[in-house]
Chains A and B, each alone.
Chain A
Amino acid sequence: MATSVVHTSAPASHHYTTLGLDSRKVAIWAFIGSECMLFVSLISTYLIYKGRSIVGPFPHEAWTDPTTGHVLKPILNIPVTSASTFVLLMSSLFMVLALAAVQNKEKPKHTRGERILGNSKLWLWMTAIAGTTFLGFQAFEFTSFVHEGLTIRTNLFGSTFFTLTGFHGAHVTAGVLWLVTLLAIDYRRGLGSRDSLLVDIAALYWHFVDVIWIVIFTLVYLIK
Chain B
Amino acid sequence: MDNHASMTNLPDSAEAQAHAPHGEEEHAHPTWSTYWKVALILTLITVGEVWAYYIPSFVAGRGFVPTLLFLSALKFTIVVMFYMHLKYDHRLFRVLFTGPLLIASLTLLALMFLFGHLYFKVM
Contact = CB atoms under 8 A, between A and B. Distances in A.
A208 B86 CA distance: 12
A222 B53 contact: yes
B29 A100 contact: yes
A129 interface: no
Contacts of A10: 12
Contact of A218 (B9, B71, B105): B71
Interface stretch (A62-70, A88-96, A166-174): A88-96
Contact of A20 (B22, B76, B108): B22
Contact of A33 (B1, B9, B99): B99
Interface residues of A, number: 62
Contact of A37 (B65, B72, B103): B103
Contact of A30 (B1, B39, B96): B96
Interface in B1-59: 1-2, 5-6, 9, 11-13, 15-16, 19-24, 29, 32, 35-36, 38-39, 42-43, 46, 49-50, 52-53, 59
B79 A13 contact: no
Task: Name the interface size band of chain B.
Answer: 35 or more
A30 B101 CA distance: 11
Contact of A19 (B90, B99, B104): B90
Interface of A: 1-2, 4-10, 12-14, 16, 18-22, 25-26, 29-30, 32-34, 36-37, 40-41, 43-44, 47-48, 50, 78, 82, 85-86, 89-90, 92-93, 95-97, 100, 103, 117, 203-204, 207-208, 210-211, 214-215, 217-219, 222-224
Interface of B: 1-2, 5-6, 9, 11-13, 15-16, 19-24, 29, 32, 35-36, 38-39, 42-43, 46, 49-50, 52-53, 59, 64-65, 68-69, 71-72, 75-76, 79-80, 83-84, 90, 92-93, 96-97, 99-101, 103-105, 107-108, 111-112, 115, 117
